[in-house]
Copies of this chain bind each other. A is one copy, B any other.
Amino acid sequence: MRSHYCGDVNESLVGQTVTVAGWMHRRRDHGGVIFIDLRDREGLVQVVCNPEDAESFAVAEKVRSEFVLQIEGEVKPRPAGSENTDLRSGKIELIAKRVEILNSSETPPFPLNEQAEVNEDIRLRHRYIDLRRPEMLQKLRFRSMITRQLRQYLDAKGFLDIETPILTKATPEGARDYLVPSRTHQGEFFALPQSPQLFKQLLMVAGMDRYYQVVRCFRDEDLRADRQPEFTQLDIETSFVEEEELMNLMEEMIRDLFANVLEQALPKPFPRMSYAEAMDRFGSDKPDLRIPLELVEVSDLMKAVDFKVFSGPASDERGRVAALRVPGGNELSRKEIDDYTKYVGIYGAKGLAYIKINDISAGREGLQSPILKFLPDDVVEAILQRTGAQTGDLVFFGADKATIVNEALGALRVKLGHDLNMVEHGWKPLWVVEFPMFEWDDKTQRWYALHHPFTAPRVEDESLLETDPGRCLSRAYDMVLNGTELGGGSMRIHKTELQQKVFRMLGISDEEAAEKFGFLLQALKYGCPPHGGLAFGLDRLAMLMTGSASIRDVMAFPKTQSAACLLTDAPGAVSDEQLKELNIRLRKLPGAEA
């Protein structure tokens, strides 16, 4: 139906007759001549319909925005001075010989030929039009290139692309599982996988050696933080390796990706940072290293001050007092500081103390702060010295449980970085390593796995598992890029006894473990090789690489934050007949009382 894509018609074709097909992007009538910009996936071409060619001209007069046209015409150079250097086809135009309307179009719900902010709900409802915008098309195209590049790398390294089930085992505690009632096994349910973790481990037991899969995963949870009920992982697992080899391979893959797809160089090697250091310096296990602000530990200085807000957390084993110097922050207004105080409140911080440095050479006189009166000279001096504060700076303080201080100042650090235009350009990847195995939860009074229960402890820490679990570090690693966790993984437990020990630590009884993970424990008994792997969030990677604001922008048909598809109107009602066949019924009818 065409000899060339619109965007591919260029000066090399001058004098030839070509056929193009696409959408009527823009039309201008000028001096009795109709100019049509015809658009397809590859770009635009300008078509000239002269009144002398009565038949084509008559058709051209009828076309409206987004009509689908097939046009045959001769390629001619544009008249001198009318070239468009923004277009690949900008040096030529097509003199129409035949214009055919392949399909008409109603006026689209939002214009495609101008830059306009369109409400996202409308875009999602008419996604097939939204995706026509060159920006969106390029994002999906780019995503396709990313996946291809990653696959090529892994294929070349001997990884096998193996598919794992989507209809998997439901477990009584899988609170975030999507469930699927079984028709053949009435009263029983499948679950959609949150990840193929156990299947990929079983593939290692099976001797596949190197596995990958670009795989859909599902999580039924609050979608606040730009999450989607279904998302895509690049899932990887290997046998007979240790973390060093795997991490090197993985960062090479990502470097290759950026080099080939973006033509941008990432550092070699990626810097590494322990979890402890990341929390100390950035209050986060996924620090954005583009932001030149750091938390500074001042707990030791605050133990003895006569200010409970500081001395309390400073003296508490689980407390922390930290400072965050903001260069030039002196210029922040009262209102701005109030807003930041509210902001850290989201993370549980009860306040946000600060010192403004008006004149560093003037001693206490040069400082301005509601809390200054509580701090003796030597403490003030030590703070200034340790933070490196200069005239014009401001120093924020966080004092609370360490988890709260880290979350609050960590988030504040990022916000300040953006608000004050301090974010450096470029890509700042790093590996975060030496995660703790467990996290204590005060509310439920038990340990939780920081990664997942299949993560191996460091060999030298195995003895801490039972004696001092909080200090037991794991063989987990996260790849972080510009403050986003790109991927994470670990070396796995490959022996039954150790796996059982970890389950028990997590409050999973042997009985419960057998019911939920019996097949894994069984598999570990039959010659499981040492293995490890990781998973990358493909949506997030594509979002970062395309500079998108949301993962919704790199998905063809995303769902809204309430997990609905505005385009197809899913989820929807089903007939009682269908539910009957599945042996389920609704507890409460829509609109009815309980």
> Residues of A with Cβ closer than 8 Å to B?
1-2, 5, 21-23, 39-41, 66-68, 70, 102-106, 108, 126-132, 137, 140-141, 143-144, 147-148, 151, 155, 160-175, 177-192, 198-199, 202-203, 205-209, 216, 218, 220, 229-230, 232, 240-242, 494-495, 518-519, 522-523, 525-530, 555-557, 559, 562-565, 567-575, 578-580, 582-590
Give complex CA distance A5, B240 in Å: 10
Closest chain B CB from A157 CB (angstroms): 13
The residues of B that contact A165 with a CB separation of less than 8 Å are 230, 557, 559, 565, 570
B571 to A182, Cβ gap below 8 A? Answer: yes
A189 to B527, Cβ gap below 8 A? Answer: no
Closest chain B CB from A556 CB (angstroms): 5
Closest chain B CB from A220 CB (angstroms): 5
Closest residue of chain B to A185 (Cβ to Cβ) is B571
Closest chain B CB from A557 CB (angstroms): 5
B202 to A128, Cβ gap below 8 A? Answer: yes
Known: A168-B570, A187-B586. A179 touches B178 (CB 8 A): no
Pairs A-B, 6 closest by C-beta atoms: A105-B527, A131-B206, A188-B571, A169-B570, A66-B527, A169-B568
Closest residue of chain B to A42 (Cβ to Cβ) is B209
28 contacts across the A-B interface (CB closer than 8 A): A2-B240, A5-B209, A39-B207, A41-B207, A41-B208, A68-B527, A70-B240, A103-B494, A103-B528, A104-B527, A106-B525, A128-B206, A129-B205, A137-B208, A144-B161, A144-B162, A167-B565, A169-B569, A172-B578, A175-B578, A177-B578, A179-B578, A181-B181, A185-B571, A186-B590, A191-B570, A202-B567, A584-B586
A141 to B160, Cβ gap below 8 A? Answer: yes
The residues of B that contact A160 with a CB separation of less than 8 Å are 140-141, 144
Copies in the complex: 2
Known: A102-B530, A208-B41. A164 touches B556 (CB 8 A): yes
The residues of B that contact A202 with a CB separation of less than 8 Å are 127-128, 557, 567
Give complex CA distance A559, B184 in Å: 12
Give complex CA distance A495, B67 in Å: 12
B571 to A526, Cβ gap below 8 A? Answer: no
A584 to B587, Cβ gap below 8 A? Answer: yes
Choose one: B127, B151, B179; the contact of A582 (CB below 8 Å): B179
B1 to A530, Cβ gap below 8 A? Answer: yes
Give complex CA distance A205, B22 in Å: 11
The residues of B that contact A41 with a CB separation of less than 8 Å are 207-209
Give complex CA distance A39, B529 in Å: 12
Closest chain B CB from A125 CB (angstroms): 9
Choose one: B66, B179, B495, B570; the contact of A170 (CB below 8 Å): B570
B169 to A572, Cβ gap below 8 A? Answer: yes
Interface centre among A148, A165, A527, A589 (most CB of B within 10 A): A527
Closest chain B CB from A560 CB (angstroms): 10
Give complex CA distance A70, B151 in Å: 30
Closest chain B CB from A406 CB (angstroms): 31
Choose one: B141, B191, B574; the contact of A172 (CB below 8 Å): B574
Choose one: B68, B161, B572; the contact of A148 (CB below 8 Å): B161
Known: A106-B526, A140-B208, A208-B137. A241 touches B569 (CB 8 A): no
A189 to B102, Cβ gap below 8 A? Answer: no
Closest chain B CB from A187 CB (angstroms): 5
The residues of B that contact A242 with a CB separation of less than 8 Å are 1
Known: A140-B208, A563-B184. A163 touches B588 (CB 8 A): no
Known: A141-B160, A240-B2. A572 touches B189 (CB 8 A): yes
The residues of B that contact A182 with a CB separation of less than 8 Å are 563, 571
The residues of B that contact A209 with a CB separation of less than 8 Å are 5, 40-41
The residues of B that contact A179 with a CB separation of less than 8 Å are 180-181, 574, 578, 582
Known: A526-B128, A528-B68. A218 touches B585 (CB 8 A): no
Interface centre among A161, A174, A216 (most CB of B within 10 A): A161
Interface centre among A155, A207, A240 (most CB of B within 10 A): A207
Closest residue of chain B to A105 (Cβ to Cβ) is B527
The residues of B that contact A526 with a CB separation of less than 8 Å are 66, 105-106, 108, 126, 128-129
Give complex CA distance A183, B569 in Å: 15
Give complex CA distance A304, B67 in Å: 60
The residues of B that contact A220 with a CB separation of less than 8 Å are 183
Known: A519-B569, A584-B585, A585-B585. A148 touches B140 (CB 8 A): no
Give complex CA distance A309, B527 in Å: 65
Closest residue of chain B to A19 (Cβ to Cβ) is B240
Choose one: B232, B564, B574; the contact of A163 (CB below 8 Å): B232
Q: 16 extra interchain contacts, Cβ-Cβ under 8 A, other than A144-B160, A206-B556?
A: A103-B494, A103-B495, A105-B526, A143-B162, A164-B557, A166-B166, A167-B229, A167-B559, A167-B570, A180-B192, A184-B564, A187-B589, A188-B572, A518-B569, A584-B584, A585-B587
Closest chain B CB from A126 CB (angstroms): 8
The residues of B that contact A161 with a CB separation of less than 8 Å are 144, 147-148
Closest chain B CB from A311 CB (angstroms): 44
Closest chain B CB from A326 CB (angstroms): 40
